[in-house]
Copies of this chain bind each other. A is one copy, B any other.
Amino acid sequence: MKTFEPVLIAGAWRASQDARASFCAFDPTTGEETGHEFPLSGAADIEAALVAASEAAVELAACEPERIAAFLDAYAAAIEADAETLVNLAHTETGLPREPRLAKVELPRTTNQLRQAAQAVRTSSWTQPTIDTQAGLRSHFAPLAKPVVVFGPNNFPFAFNAVAGSDFASAIAAQNAVIAKAHPSHPATSKRLASLAHRAAIENGLPAASVQMLYDFDHALGARLAADARIGAIGFTGSRAGGLALKAAADAGGVPIYAEMSSVNPVFLLPGALAERRAELAQEFFASCTLGSGQFCTNPGIVVVPQGAHGDAFVAAASRLFADAPAGVLFSQGVLTQFRRGLSTLADAGAQVLAHGKDSAEPGYRQAPVLLGVEARQFLAAAQVLQTEVFGAASLIVRADGTAEMVAIARALDGNLTGTLYTSKKGGIDDAAAAQVAYALRPRVGRLIGNKMPTGVTVSAAMNHGGPYPSTSHSGFSAVGMPGAIRRFAALHSYDNVPPHLLPEDLCDANPRGLQRLVDGIWATGSIGAEKNP
């Protein structure tokens, strides 16, 4: 009989107290079990984690920021030191290539993100210290003093992992304890990360329950947890159905939830761009759509292409690339099933298959990329169903007759993470049309992109990895980029005529660290009452 892997609760790796079942991770390239068995936690594990996290959260809220920053740095270093093992585990569990994806792209992005969070802690950029000397008022963003629950997705075993990714780094940077719900498609990777995080937490003097992790629990328990008033906030990345169910529970409990749920990331190719570089664009589009077997939330799922010879040539070139492409590996049988269901949904709504890559007889969860097409009129007549997200390497080409139809398509779109415009690089041939499409597209997307594909999310203060509902649950927040992402897990605290000894350090008169603070409407780095800023 196999032993279940232990869960991380209250500062210790221990057996699940009430595993309701167990599950295995599968190697997507073979469809075979990877040899470990993980518990599906029951209510007792969740309650134990919640009790421990609630205590840790109160302690953490009062902890020295430098300790938090040191933890984040130490964790980043530990991940780097363990890179080979982590990459091998993640490769086995996700089928993603070791290089460049896991070792050269995602792992460095993850450690970079943790270090940017550390930097945001050290500079207090996320607390946004604001001082009104006339009114005697001071405010900043502060820890929730309640745990944050992070639900990780299947598609980034490192950079969005519930115990290592952006939500984790953000929640910890805001001095909150985290209860991570790993994704069951990569439990061993998550376990390894959690053990590194836990060790770094202990070594840097954080409360033992600052980081806890469960591999999985069922939806009903997830909903119960989401509505629990002891929770400070929730970060979720995953499917729209899962996100909406969790959001309904969290909303009912008054718990803020930041759910990233779905996006088809429309790409508009303007006539000048097509005339200029259609073969290059077809290649770019194909590469972006099939990268990581298309399993990105920013995958280009809809491409709007003008009618006419240049558009035809683009579609022909893209179709050839898709038709020649080998099958890719998807994360799980579930993803594969959903992908095929999505294709049927689009086909039932009138989309034609323009190209289908090469099927594979190899084992595992393999799927050829698929290119579909519809006319603008068809799209507009069934816009809701035709913008169903198909998670994987599939995209729908919509042929549009002129700027007016492009604008109409943009207007028919739901909230998305991104929207892209390709325009001519010479002269201003596309300028007028681009302005019209951008005007229609802008309020419907979080990130407007020029002349490059939407995959690839830079960790930057100016990034918005977010967007209007239903792409996310709140259009005012980004899930990626410090310090903004951190503020999702913070409360606004004002101090009104409060004696100096009760003020937090970043709001005191003295500003020895030269923090950037908004003092009487001006961003300044000096101390209050000093002659001038140093």
Contact = CB atoms under 8 A, between A and B. Distances in A.
Contact of A423 (B125, B466, B495, B499): B499
Given A254-B470, A461-B132, A462-B131, A450 B496 contact: yes
A450 B502 contact: yes
Nearest to A466: B492
A447 B496 contact: yes
A322 interface: no
Interface stretch (A159-167, A301-309, A475-483): A475-483
Most buried by B among A458, A466, A492, A518: A492
Contact of A464 (B125, B428, B448, B492): B492
A487 B492 contact: no
Number of copies: 2
Nearest to A478: B492
Nearest to A517: B523
A299 interface: no
Contacts of A434: 499, 502
Nearest to A254: B469
Contact of A439 (B62, B123, B522): B62
Contacts of A496: 418, 447-450, 452, 458, 463
Contact of A248 (B252, B461, B477, B490): B252
B464 A494 contact: yes
Nearest to A139: B462
Contacts of A468: 491
A256 B476 contact: yes
Contacts of A255: 469
A443 interface: yes
A345 to B, nearest CB: 21
Given A435-B502, A442-B493, A498-B450, A256 B475 contact: yes
Nearest to A459: B135
A521 interface: yes
Given A434-B499, A460-B132, A492-B464, A521 B476 contact: no
A153 B421 CA distance: 44
Contact of A516 (B138, B497, B501, B522): B522
B443 A497 contact: no
A32 interface: no
Nearest to A495: B448
A137 interface: yes
B252 A446 contact: no
A194 interface: no
B130 A461 contact: yes
Interface string A423-455: 100001001001100110011001111111000
Interface residues of A, number: 80
A70 B464 CA distance: 31
Interface stretch (A92-100, A140-148, A311-319): A140-148
Nearest to A437: B502
Interface in A93-151: 123, 125, 130-132, 135, 137-139, 141-146
A61 interface: yes
A144 B487 CA distance: 20
Interface in A494-521: 494-499, 501-502, 516, 518, 521
A492 B478 CA distance: 8
Nearest to A244: B254
A526 interface: no
18 contacts: A61-B443, A62-B439, A125-B521, A130-B462, A131-B462, A132-B458, A132-B460, A132-B461, A135-B463, A138-B462, A139-B463, A145-B443, A248-B251, A255-B469, A442-B493, A447-B493, A475-B492, A476-B490
What 10 A-B pairs have minimum CB-CB distances, sorted nearest first? A464-B494, A523-B523, A145-B443, A254-B469, A251-B251, A137-B462, A475-B491, A450-B498, A132-B462, A447-B494
Given A450-B498, A476-B490, 17 more contacts: A58-B443, A131-B462, A132-B460, A135-B462, A142-B443, A144-B443, A254-B470, A421-B498, A421-B502, A435-B501, A447-B496, A463-B496, A476-B487, A476-B491, A477-B492, A478-B492, A484-B492
